[in-house]
Each structure stands twice: as C-alpha cells, then as structure tokens.
Chain A
C-alpha cells in the first residue's frame, strides 16, 4: 500500500513545487471624469388645441466620477438660434424646459430658458460622486435625467420646419 502511494506523491511533488506566492502592487490613478449621452434628435409636437405649445421629452444619460470636494454640473446651451431665421427665437425666450427628478444628483428646479449665450444647469453632482454600484455611487450606470422641453407656439412664426442644436456639457470637473 505504501509502495503504491510513493509514485503518486512523486508525481504530485512537481505540481506543488510550481505554486508560489508573489506580491505585486497595482496602482490606479482615477481622474475625475464625466460623459453625457443624448439622442441625436427630438421632434417637438404640438398639443391638441390650436396654438398649444410644442413639447417633447429628452432623456439625458450621464456617467460621472468627481473628486472629493469638487462637484460637477451637466449643462445645456444652444449652439445657435433656430434655423431658418424667421422661426422661433431663443432670444425671445421661446424655448424653456423643466427637469424630471434625476436618478442621481440634483436636477434643475423651476422653469429654465434655453439660451444661446449662457449655459443652464441640468444636473448638479456633489464631490466624490460616481455612477454605478450603489452605496455612495448611483445605483445605475449610467444615471439619467429627463428634460421636459416646451416651445412657445407663436402665430407670427411662418409655417415650415425649424431646427435648433442643443449641446450638453459636463463641466467643473
């Protein structure tokens, strides 16, 4: 019986000898980072009544990592006026939005007016914010917020098709 075990031990020894312990320290330097994603386009639709506002809901997704003590904002600003030029007017305050509660961070409150000259906050994020994983981070990755857009239906705007580009930016990282 012992004789039968010896070859087994002998065969196992080289395998055991191959197992070692090595220690290596991996260091990762995580920088604050923020990214945003929005649909490429959105059609605003008129309500059922004549001269009702045009409305639309725009989902905004974001992934964020902020440094402790350093918050961040996701903002929106028009890249230009409505085109063609005889359409609705951002300068006249024709385009406004409200925010639905964000899944993470603090969404804007009240009615905001979209501007071509200044940014409007959509979501404010605190320091040490992070998306995904729960705990101090958001439960979902990406996190999201919705913009409820409203465009004044001004009778003085001629019939036709009009567009306006909006740019969302993650700032103050």
Chain B
C-alpha cells in the first residue's frame, strides 16, 4: 500500500514536471489562420496649415481662397454613411462676421464623396462639405477634395489681419 502511495506521488510529480511543450501539437508543418475584422473608419488631412484669402482685381471685390484636403474613408457595406463637415470660428471684433453670413464656400470632392451641391454659408456649427453612401471606399493613398472660400469685402471691416480657424471633421458609420 505504501509503495502504491509512493508511486502515485511520483506520477503526480512527473505530471507536474512535464514541460509545457507537451501540451502543444508538434508536426512537420503547422497551420494558423489569421483573422481580421474590417470596420468603418475615416481620416482627413488638410494640406495647407493656413489659407490666405486674397482680394480680387476690383476695389471692394470679394476675398477668395482655397483649402485643399485629402481624405480616407470606408463606410459599412449596408446602411453605411459618412460625412465631412467644416466648423468655422467667428472672426474677431472689427472683422468679418459669420453671423452676418460674410463667409461662404463651395466644395469639390472626388468620388466616392459627393461635395456640397451649392454655396454654403459658413457657420460655427459644422456645415456640410461632403457626403458618403454605403460601402464608400477611398483609395489607399486617400482621395482629394477642396473648399473654395468667398469672403464679402465689407468697407466696415477695420484694416488689419483677421483670422478664423476652420475645423474639418470626417466620420464614417
């Protein structure tokens, strides 16, 4: 009986001492399957850090300028949507006024995006630049787009430099 107990203890110790490798399956070849779940996502990069608006040829002609960007997007196959919006901060005192509708823009966005169809009045709340439907997918290096700004040249503006920060946002579902 004592010998049996000793044997049982020995077997137990041996089982504990077996290397973890024995739990693995070793063969001449080994196969693994890599899996990925690809979801909707979007990113945008604005090309210019600043966009100067320049006055046209005639006196008190509007100021104009263009901001270029590159976007990447992938929307869901079914019921997917996406958008690019622009949020513009108010100019300082003595300068142009968003509230007065002084700044407007038009959009040019390459497929699969659809740019804003008509002139949009810029606002602090995000306004539409482009829309995307289901299963919209940009190129690997991204697709291009631009916003062309038109700022009213109001004689009421004080002379000097006036600035506003525009934030472009992109989303995909």
Enumerate chain A interface residues (CB-CB to B < 8 A): 34-44, 46, 49-51, 54, 56, 58, 60-63, 79, 87-88, 95, 141-142, 149, 151-170
Contact flags B12-36 to A (C-beta < 8 A → 1, else 0): 0000000101001111111111111
Interface pair B24/A158, CB less than 8 Å apart: no
* Docked-complex contact A162 and B35, CB < 8 angstroms: yes
Instruction: Check A169 against B28 for contact (C-beta < 8 Å).
Output: yes
Partner-binding segment picked from B86-94, B116-124, B134-142, B149-157: B134-142
Q: A40-B32, A43-B36, A165-B33 are in contact. Are A156 and B19 (CB under 8 A)?
A: no
Sampled A-B contacts (22; CB under 8 Å): A35-B28, A40-B32, A41-B34, A44-B34, A51-B72, A61-B24, A63-B21, A141-B19, A142-B21, A142-B24, A153-B41, A155-B73, A156-B74, A159-B38, A162-B36, A163-B33, A163-B36, A164-B33, A167-B31, A168-B30, A168-B31, A170-B29
Q: How far is the CB of B144 from chain A (nearest CB, A)?
A: 14
Most buried by B among A58, A158, A163: A158
Report B57-90 CB contacts with A as 1/0, cut-off 8 Å.
0000000000000001111110010000000000
Q: What 18 additional pairs, Cβ within 8 angstroms, besides A36-B27, A156-B140, A168-B30?
A: A36-B29, A36-B30, A39-B32, A43-B34, A54-B36, A87-B38, A88-B36, A141-B21, A149-B34, A155-B74, A156-B137, A157-B137, A158-B74, A158-B77, A160-B77, A161-B36, A165-B32, A165-B33
Q: Does B42 contact A (CB under 8 A)?
A: yes
- A96 and B132 CA atoms in complex are apart in Å by 31
| Inter-chain contacts of B36 with A (CB < 8 A) | 43-44, 54, 88, 151, 161-163
What separation, in Å, do the CA atoms of A143 and B2 have in the docked complex? Answer: 40
- Residue B40 is within 8 A (CB to CB) of chain A in the complex: yes
A157 with B32, Cβ < 8 A, contacts A37-B26, A51-B43 known: no
Q: Which residues of A contact B160 (CB under 8 A)?
A: none
Across the interface, do A37 and B24 meet the contact criterion of CB distance under 8 Å? yes
Q: Shortest CB–CB separation between residue A36 and chain B, in angstroms?
A: 4
Which residues of chain A have C-beta atoms less than 8 A from B38's C-beta? 87, 153, 157-162
* Min CB gap A71→B, angstroms: 17
